[in-house]
Amino acid sequence: MKNNKYKKALTGGAAAAEALRQINPDVAPVYPITPQTPIIETFAKFCADGKARTEIMTAESEHSAISAAVGSQAAGARTVTATSSQGLALMNEILYIASGMRLPIVMLISARALSAPINIHGDHSDVMGARDTGWIQLFSENSQEVYDNTIIGTKLAERSELPIMVIMDGFTTSHSVENLEMLPDGTVRKFVGRYKNKEALLNVKKPHTFGPVSLPDSYFELKIDQDEAMKEVLKNYEETAGEFKEVSGRDYELIEEYRAKDADHILVLIGSTAGTAKDVVDNIREKGEKVGLVKIKLFRPFPYKEVAVAVSKAKSIAVMDRSISFGSVPPLYSEIINSVKDCDLRVASYVYALGGRDIFTKDIERVFEDLISGNISDKTEYLNAKTQ
Amino acid sequence: MNKKLTEKFYPGHATCAGCGIPAIVRHVLDEADCPVVVINATGCLEVTSTLYPYSAWKVPYIHNAFENAAATAAGVETAYRALKKKGKIKDKMKFVVFAGDGGTFDIGLQALSGMLERGHDVLYVAYDNEGYMNTGGQRSSATPVGADMETTPAGKKSSGNKLPRKDMMEIVKSHHIKYLAQANVAYIEDLRKKARKALETEGPSFLLVLQPCTNVWKFPTSDYVKIGKLATETNYWPLYEIEDGRYILNLKIEKPKKIEEYLKTQKRFGHLLSPKNKELVKNIQENINREWEGLIERENGGIVEQ
Ligand SMILES: Cc1ncc(C[n+]2csc(CCOP(=O)(O)OP(=O)(O)O)c2C)c(N)n1
Ligand code: SF4
Ligand SMILES: [Mg+2]
């Protein structure tokens, strides 16, 4: 085995901070909230030690942190921030402005439940609540992906002229130490390159008006343009991930298919639970059932076609959501239903691990058992909840 | 029109005829001796100057939202420092916020406090027309007692807004910034002098500028200077500076006019002239006298803090 000094054992939060250190952004307006705080603390220490030359701005709220990020990125500075839960909810108004202005801000998110009641633990309610804000949403399964996605995400955002949320699961990923392989500093810096924007506030020779008023004669088209730009992200992602593979050897596709090619029954989910689900797939495969997993990475834009192709040969699939859309169906399930509308298969819906509730292998086994036995409910089922 | 004055903020904006905002913007920016970047809160100035795909701004300009002009400016200024340190920018620049009273006293107060407290090198200009004008004239915490506003209408059982104006100057002063001043668009030379001082200040500076609004205060479009002058001549709107904690009164009117002289020029105060509001007007006058005396005391007190 080669002795590799780039192999590290880091929490997801620390992995994100390491990636930020290497990217060396210009500005980072920050505000603390659990479970995101270790990211900005670790990164602030890097800056204090001279390992990154980023201006940290200690904002007085998340609303101001993202507002300052808009100002800073528009000024022409590469800008990053981080948040969770209530912080992301507080930013909501400005998230739309950042994307409407086409500013490629990078935001690390440790996904967490939303109040009320207040709960600091992991789920996807916060990020799913922000799914229509016009930000790219890139989810990570583990520390390695957090690290890689932060680097890929920076380039992807700038290439697409859209802001990006690089998302990890609060605590499960943000606070658990896992092995990962970093890249040399120089490789990362070269990969992301220098940030250049067409219009910058600080380009006083070419004054530009950011954030104008638009009336019914122009607003509609501007929003269509924004949607087109978002759709382009799928292509941009493949290009960026391809470039990343060249420097890292790590191969990231739009979705991750795990033993899904010949599977009769496929589980679709997002985030850290994919790790556990892969073990379950292996165990059930050993018993002779053809099961597999599709892991969603980009949630916005959503890779409808890729999902459809990946599951089209299956007999049934199950979707596990880590948030609720009150009065409707869960967010990922809704996207999957849209993806498979031309496929002949049954789709089951499960919600799991809200507010940091555990999810066990037995819960995932049950999902596969339901698929295999054809026990597919019309309703969304709750895993490991006390209602049943 | 003076060509130099309109270099940064062009004609072709759509503020009401007789609005004092453009004069404030032009004279403040004209005092800058280096390139400026403008940060603007949602409000009358913003909606009337940036109608896509046109813009009256010939300097770099950003409008983010209503309550976050100060935070946006903080981000722009931080970016400037970061890029300068890294050698990516060389030019000297100044950053100027324009925000209304609503965007300053109310919804933007937190962001302003953060910007002041962190010491960003930004001039924040609040043009104060004493209400939410862009949305049609609702009360803000800058609205004076007795004003008939859309959300505090005068009626059979009400004489309009009951709550006194928030003392924004004292709030800003509490952040220990080096320079802040109260000015009035009707006193352009005084405003220009203050803008110059503020722009020369390192770190945050603040100007609170009275801007009579023809549309909501309801007076003839030709009269904003006249009304502005009356506001100061009655001592309702004293002109003063706070420099390193020291109060300087810029204009001491020998015989201040009675507040009725001011009130009667605007329909928003029309109901106050009826006999049943006599007591209220008396209170308003007493408050003005008390506040003026407070200012004199503070001026005489010399250095209030170090
Ligand atoms: C968060 C938010 N709330 C409310 C509004 C609606 N709004 C836009 S401008 C405005 C009033 C602005 O008042 P002020 O700051 O005094 O500026 P002026 O209109 O008087 O120039 C309001 C209430 C908004 N744009 N954003
Ligand atoms: S409503 Fe008042 S403040 Fe707004 S543009 Fe008209 S005069 Fe100026
Ligand atoms: Mg106003």
CATH number, position B122:
3.40.50.970
Task: Name the residue of chain B whose CA is nearest to A63's CA.
Answer: B68
Reported ipTM: 0.97
Structural tokens at position A129: 């609540």
Q: How many residues in total does chain A contain?
A: 388
- Give the pLDDT of residue A150: 99
pLDDT digits (tens, 9 = 90+) for A118-141: 999 999 999 999 999 999 999 999
- Give the pLDDT of residue A3: 59
In a domain, B43, yes or no: yes
Ligand at minimal distance from the CA of B23 is: 2
- Give the pLDDT of residue B301: 86
Name the pLDDT band for B302 (thresholds 50, 70, 90).
low
Q: Determine whether the shortest distance from the Cβ of B109 to ligand 1 is under 6 A.
A: no
Residue B133 C-alpha to ligand 1 middle, in angstroms?
8
Q: Determine whether the shortest distance from the Cβ of B100 to ligand 1 is under 6 A.
A: yes
Q: How far apart are the first and last CA of chain B?
A: 44
Instruction: Quote the minimal CA–CA distance from B147 to chain A in Å.
Output: 30
Structural tokens at position B190: 């005084």
Please answer yes or no on whether A204 and B76 come within 8 Å at the CB atom: no
Sign of CA dihedral B260, B265, B271, B274: positive
Please answer yes or no on whether A63 and B52 come within 8 Å at the CB atom: no
* Domain ranges for chain A: 6-248, 255-382
Name the pLDDT band for B1 (thresholds 50, 70, 90).
low
Radius of gyration of chain B (CA): 19
Q: Is the Cβ–Cβ distance between B95 and A75 less than 8 Å? A: no
Omega before residue A301 within 30° of 0, cis: yes
Omega before residue A116 within 30° of 0, cis: yes
Please name the residues in contact with B86: beta carbons below 8 A apart, sequence gap of 6 or more: A26, A53
Give the separation between CA B7 and CA B2, rounded to whole angstroms. Answer: 9
| pLDDT exceeds 70 at position B259 | yes
Helical residues (DSSP H) of A165-272, grouped into ranges: 185-192, 219-248
| Closest CA relative to residue A275, chosen from A95, A146, A135 | A146
Residue, of B301 and A363, whose pLDDT is higher: A363
Q: Which of B51, B55, B74 minimises the CB distance to A71?
A: B74
DSSP states along A42-93 = HHHHHHHTTSS--EEEE-SSHHHHHHHHHHHHHHT--BEEEE-HHHHHHHHH
Q: What is the mean pLDDT of residues B195-220?
A: 98
Q: Determine whether the shortest distance from the Cβ of B133 to ligand 1 is under 6 A.
A: yes
Q: Tell me if residue B295 falls in helix, strand or coil.
A: helix
Residues of B in contact with A27 (CB under 8 A): 75, 78-79, 82
Residues of A in contact with B86 (CB under 8 A): 26, 53
| Closest CA relative to residue B211, chosen from B66, B50, B100, B132 | B100
Give the separation between CA A95 and CA A112, rounded to whole angstroms. Answer: 18
Distance of CA A317 to the CA centre of its chain: 22
Distance of CA A373 to the CA centre of its chain: 33
Q: Is the Cβ–Cβ distance between A20 and B73 less than 8 Å? A: no
Q: What is the mean pLDDT of residues B118-141?
A: 98
Residue A282: count of CB within 10 angstroms of its CB: 12
Q: What is the mean pLDDT of residues B215-243?
A: 98
pLDDT > 90: percent of chain B: 96
- Give the pLDDT of residue A387: 79
Domain A6-248 and domain A255-382 have a common topology: yes
Distance of CA A355 to the CA centre of its chain: 18
| pLDDT exceeds 50 at position A216 | yes
Residue B66 C-alpha to ligand 1 middle, in angstroms?
6
Strand order across the beta sheet in which A316-321 lies: A255-258, A291-296, A265-270, A316-321, A346-351, A381-382
- Give the pLDDT of residue B304: 47
Q: Whose CA is nearest to atom 22 of ligand 1?
A: B135
pLDDT > 90: percent of chain A: 98
Instruction: Quote the minimal CA–CA distance from A358 to chain B in Å.
Output: 39
B46 vs A: CB within 8 A: yes
Q: Is the Cβ–Cβ distance between A296 and A268 less than 8 Å? A: yes
| Closest CA relative to residue A191, chosen from A151, A143, A159 | A151
Give the separation between CA A258 and CA A276, rounded to whole angstroms. Answer: 12
Residues of A in contact with B107 (CB under 8 A): none
| Closest CA relative to residue A26, chosen from A79, A73, A81 | A79
B78 vs A: CB within 8 A: yes
Task: List the CATH code of the domain at A255-382.
Answer: 3.40.50.920
Instruction: Quote the minimal CA–CA distance from B193 to chain A in Å.
Output: 25
Give the separation between CA A308 and CA B201, rounded to whole angstroms. Answer: 61
pLDDT digits (tens, 9 = 90+) for B146-177: 999 999 999 999 999 999 999 999 999 999 99
Give the separation between CA B57 and CA B67, rounded to whole angstroms. Answer: 21
| Closest CA relative to residue A319, chosen from A362, A258, A383 | A383
Give the separation between CA B119 and CA B241, rounded to whole angstroms. Answer: 19
Number of inter-chain CB pairs under 8 A, A vs B: 162
Please answer yes or no on whether A63 and B39 come within 8 Å at the CB atom: no
What is the domain count for chain B? 1
- Give the pLDDT of residue B148: 98
Containing structural domain, residue B227: 3-299
Q: How far is CA B250 from CA A260, B233, B235, B295, in A?
A: 79, 12, 12, 11
Q: Which of B65, B73, B110 minimises the CB distance to A61?
A: B110
Q: Whose CA is nearest to atom 2 of ligand 1?
A: B66
In a domain, B305, yes or no: no
Neighbour-count burial of B36, counting CB atoms closer than 10 A to its CB (0-12 exposed, 13-18 middle, 19+ buried): buried
A6-248: CATH homologous superfamily?
A: Thiamin diphosphate (ThDP)-binding fold, Pyr/PP domains (3.40.50.970)
Q: How far is CA A174 from CA A7, A12, A16, in A?
A: 18, 4, 9
Neighbour-count burial of B276, counting CB atoms closer than 10 A to its CB (0-12 exposed, 13-18 middle, 19+ buried): exposed
Pocket of ligand 2 (CB under 6 A): B 15-16, 19, 21, 44, 48, 129, 133, 213-216
Residue B100 C-alpha to ligand 2 middle, in angstroms?
11
Q: Name the DSSP letter for residue B150.
A: S
Q: Which residues pair with B124 in a beta bridge?
A: B97, B206
pLDDT digits (tens, 9 = 90+) for A179-196: 999 999 999 999 999 998
pLDDT digits (tens, 9 = 90+) for A272-329: 999 999 999 999 999 999 999 999 999 999 999 999 999 999 999 999 999 999 999 9
Q: Tell me if residue A191 falls in helix, strand or coil.
A: helix
- Give the pLDDT of residue B305: 44
| pLDDT exceeds 90 at position A211 | yes
Q: Determine whether the shortest distance from the Cβ of B101 to ligand 1 is under 6 A.
A: yes
What's the helix, strand, coil split of chain B in %, to 5? 40, 15, 45
Please answer yes or no on whether B60 and A55 come within 8 Å at the CB atom: no
pLDDT > 70: percent of chain B: 98
Q: Determine whether the shortest distance from the Cβ of B43 to ligand 1 is under 6 A.
A: yes
Residue B133 C-alpha to ligand 3 middle, in angstroms?
5
Q: Whose CA is nearest to atom 5 of ligand 2?
A: B15
Give the separation between CA A211 and CA A93, rounded to whole angstroms. Answer: 14
A212 vs B: CB within 8 A: yes
| Closest CA relative to residue A179, chosen from A360, A372, A8 | A8
| pLDDT exceeds 80 at position A388 | no
pLDDT digits (tens, 9 = 90+) for A19-60: 999 999 999 999 999 999 999 999 999 999 999 999 999 999
Q: Name the DSSP letter for residue B217.
A: I
In a domain, B209, yes or no: yes
For all residues of chain A together, what is the average pLDDT? 97
Atom of ligand 2 nearest to the CA of B45: 5
Q: Whose CA is nearest to atom 8 of ligand 2?
A: B19
Q: Which of B63, B91, B110 minimises the CB distance to A211?
A: B63
CA angle B212, B179, B198 (to 5 degrees): 70
Q: Tell me if residue B40 falls in helix, strand or coil.
A: strand
In a domain, B56, yes or no: yes
Give the separation between CA B68 and CA B48, rounded to whole angstroms. Answer: 19
Q: Which residue has the tokens 């609205």?
A: B143
Give the separation between CA A69 and CA A135, rounded to whole angstroms. Answer: 14
B32 vs A: CB within 8 A: no
Please answer yes or no on whether A209 and B55 come within 8 Å at the CB atom: yes
Give the separation between CA B227 and CA B213, rounded to whole angstroms. Answer: 10
- Give phi and psi for B206, each to the nearest 5: -145, 135
Please answer yes or no on whether B111 and A69 come within 8 Å at the CB atom: no
Q: Tell me if residue B220 falls in helix, strand or coil.
A: coil
| pLDDT exceeds 90 at position A4 | no
B109-113: Cβ within 8 A, 24+ apart: B109/B171, B110/A60, B110/A61, B110/A64, B110/B67, B111/A60, B111/A61, B111/A63, B111/A64, B111/A67, B111/B67, B111/B68, B111/B69, B111/B70, B111/B71, B111/B74, B112/B70, B112/B172, B113/A60, B113/B171, B113/B175
In a domain, B306, yes or no: no
Q: Tell me if residue A246 falls in helix, strand or coil.
A: helix
| pLDDT exceeds 90 at position A104 | yes
Q: Whose CA is nearest to atom 13 of ligand 1?
A: B132
Give the separation between CA B229 and CA B256, rounded to whole angstroms. Answer: 11
In a domain, B304, yes or no: no
